Amino acid sequence: MTNAVELRNITKFFPSSNVLANNNVSLEVRQGEVHALVGENGAGKTTLMNILYGLHPPDSGQILVNGEEVQVTHPDDAIRLGIGMVHQHFKLVPSFTIAENIMLGMEPNRYGLLQKRDEAEQVRALAARFGLPVDPNARIRDLPVGMQQRVEILKALQREAQILILDEPTAVLTPQEVKELLAVVRNLAERGRTIIFITHKLVEVKDVADRLSVMRGGRMMGTRDVATTTIPEMASMMVGRPVLLNLDKQPARPGDVIFACEDVTVSDASGIPAVRHLSFEVRTGEVLGIAGVSGNGQTELVEAISGMRPIDGGRLCFAGQPITHESVGQRRNRGIAHIPEDRIKIGLNLQTNLDENLVVSRYKWPEFNRLGFLIRSAMGRFAASSIKQFSIAAARPGGEIATLSGGNLQKVVLARELAGNPRFVIANQPTRGLDVGSIEFVHRALIAARDSGAAVLLVSVELDEIMSLSDRVIVLYRGEIAGEVDPQTVTEEEIGLLMGGSRLVRNP
Ligand SMILES: Nc1ncnc2c1ncn2[C@@H]1O[C@H](COP(=O)(O)OP(=O)(O)OP(=O)(O)O)[C@@H](O)[C@H]1O
Ligand SMILES: [Mg+2]
């Protein structure tokens, strides 16, 4: 059997971060297989794929495509060799339409002076061919992440990719979208395409992959057949120790109501109400989970509570006081922390250093600020302790964060938001992109915040996460509460019905 891709003894050292990201790594990917690439945050997966895609030169090692040694010094070389890559953090142009993004850089040489209409037609045909429907004229900035993902894949397929690298394609998708994507991936493999699939979700590895390769600390730990490897085996290969896949926590001891959302209506970007007359309360010492298919108002609700989006009607109260018209900063000062769903766009500033990112929300605090001057040494100490507590790999207190791996960027956001004993934590997709060990850590950290008296509002498309962390769960459907359930007793079927908009009717 020919290998579509063979990487031999790839080594890559990054002097700027002093990290040996790939240490003599070899990998064989067979033609027509779905090959999962897994490993902890910072293990070197993205680096290895960036090398294959021509984004980084390796220090040493060889790349073979279809059995022949090749030089890949630029993504153009990779594309010519039939390699496509969908990156962990999308690289689409937000102000362009879907069609413009997919055709970007292709129009003049291949299609001459095509009209926009033809472009849209091309995209529609492509979308139909691969069963990934999109509206070619929609603008990227108005699209949910799941749809942006689809555009990235179409973009690679448009360029005739035979070998498709998907770097954590499911991290941002809803369960339904994940199902659809996995079907698309299987289908592509059955038509002879080769897929390298990076994921932290071992269930997906089981569902979609033929073989998996595991990286740890820059090294290749081995390749296995998926059929004969169990999920706990995969997890311990990744982490080097057995991982607790179940969280054990004490029952909640809820106190007073600390946050109330009263008859709140919020509009989305296009002015249409996304949250309608919504009312609920969160008490200290409890985790309230918000379940729902994404796009049912969760994003707008969280933005409204954190102060990023005005509300059209109703009231928000914190500790008995109205906060409806307060700024993000005023709410923060009250002890409201926000882990945003999009760490790159609103969670972090990649142009600044780690310590600055960590204190950005509390630069006025006396410990970091004397008469208007930032105290760098205190910031540095805070950063050093965050790195340690959250195991942020390859980070230095005053170092740039732009080079951190995806999961480690997420940990920076968590370290910032969970520090300083917040009274109310709004956690939107808090474990997106994290490896199993880190998920275990974050879940414990959120429960610890709860147990020390914070209220936690958890929004997640991961139903498992909602069910295992929450003390109560409300299900959002089209911006309204379809029902409230007890995660201890509700069945998967019942919650599924609520998520689909049916009201729960129990027989007496
Ligand atoms: N351009 C770069 N400059 C310096 N260091 C880098 C660069 N890119 C990656 N690194 C470092 O190399 C290591 C491997 O990073 P990589 O992004 O490959 O990890 P990963 O396995 O993809 O992790 P994740 O699951 O979190 O995405 C990390 O420690 C990271 O900080
Ligand atoms: Mg990565």
Query: For domain 3-239, which architecture applies?
Result: 3-Layer(aba) Sandwich (3.40)
Place of tokens 């999009």: 342
DSSP category for residue 66: T
On the 0-12 / 13-18 / 19+ scale of CB atoms within 10 A, 469 is buried
Taking the CA of residue 200 as reference, the ligand 1 atom at the shortest distance is: 25
Question: Tell me, what's the pLDDT at 366?
Answer: 64
Which part of the chain is CATH 3.40.50.300? 3-239, 253-335+425-501
Q: What is the pLDDT, as a whole number, of residue 475?
A: 94
Tell me, what DSSP letter sits at residue 469? H
Rounded Cα distance, 168 and 401, in Å: 20
Per-residue pLDDT of the chain (508 residues; tens, 9 = 90+): 689 999 999 999 999 888 999 999 999 999 999 999 999 989 999 999 999 999 999 999 999 999 999 999 999 999 999 999 998 777 788 889 999 888 887 654 445 555 566 888 889 998 988 888 889 999 988 887 778 888 988 998 888 889 999 999 887 777 777 888 899 899 999 989 999 999 999 999 999 999 999 999 999 999 999 999 999 899 889 888 776 666 778 889 999 999 999 999 999 888 899 999 999 999 999 999 999 887 899 999 999 999 999 999 999 999 999 999 999 989 998 999 999 887 766 677 877 788 877 877 665 566 666 666 666 777 788 888 888 888 887 777 778 878 888 888 888 888 888 887 899 999 999 998 888 888 888 898 899 999 999 999 999 988 889 999 999 999 999 999 999 999 999 987 888 888 887 765 544 3
* pLDDT at site 109: 47
Q: Indicate which atom in ligand 1 lies nearest the CA of residue 405.
A: 17
Ligand sitting nearest the alpha carbon of 42:
1
pLDDT at 150: 85
List the residue whose alpha carbon is closest to atom 12 of ligand 1: 21
Return the residue matching tokens 């153009």.
76
pLDDT score, position 86: 92
- Residue 13 exposure: Cα atoms within 13 Å on the Cβ side: 4
Question: 351 and 360 in contact (C-beta within 8 Å)?
Answer: no
Burial 262-295 (b: 16+ CB within 10 A, else e): bebbbbbeeeebbbbebebebbbbbbbbbbbbbb
pLDDT value of position 384: 83
For the Cβ of 19 lying below 6 angstroms from any atom of ligand 1, the answer is yes
Ligand 1 atom nearest 410 alpha carbon: 26
260 CA → ligand 1 middle, Å: 41
190 backbone dihedrals φ, ψ, rounded to 5°: -65, -30
3-class SS of residue 252: coil
Tell me the C-alpha distance between 188 and 137, whole Å: 25
What is residue 400's DSSP assignment? B
* CA nearest ligand 1 atom 31, residue: 404
Pocket perturbation via mutation, ligand 1, pick of 19, 220, 411, 436 by most ligand atoms within 8 A of CB: 19
Long-range contacts of 355-360 (CB under 8 A, 24+ apart): 355/379, 355/380, 355/382, 355/383, 355/397, 355/398, 357/401, 357/412, 357/416, 358/382, 358/383, 358/386, 358/412, 358/415, 358/416, 358/419, 359/416, 360/416
Closest CA to 475 of 281, 304, 297, 317: 297
CA 214 / ligand 2 centre spacing (Å) = 13
Radius of gyration for the chain, computed over Cα atoms and rounded to the nearest angstrom: 23
Q: Work out whether strand 68-70 and strand 60-65 pair parallel, antiparallel, or are unpaired.
A: antiparallel
Which atom of ligand 1 lies at the shortest distance from residue 407's CA? Answer: 26
| Ion ligand 2 nearby residues (CB, 5 A) | 46, 88, 405-406
What single string gives the DSSP state of each residue in 362-392?
GTTSTTTEETTEE-HHHHHHHHHHHHHHTT-
CATH fold of the domain at 253-335+425-501: Rossmann fold (3.40.50)
Ligand nearest, relative to CA of residue 217:
1
Using DSSP, state whether 324 is helix, strand or coil: coil
Query: In whole angstroms, how far apart are CA 100 and each of 94, 129, 153?
Result: 10, 19, 14
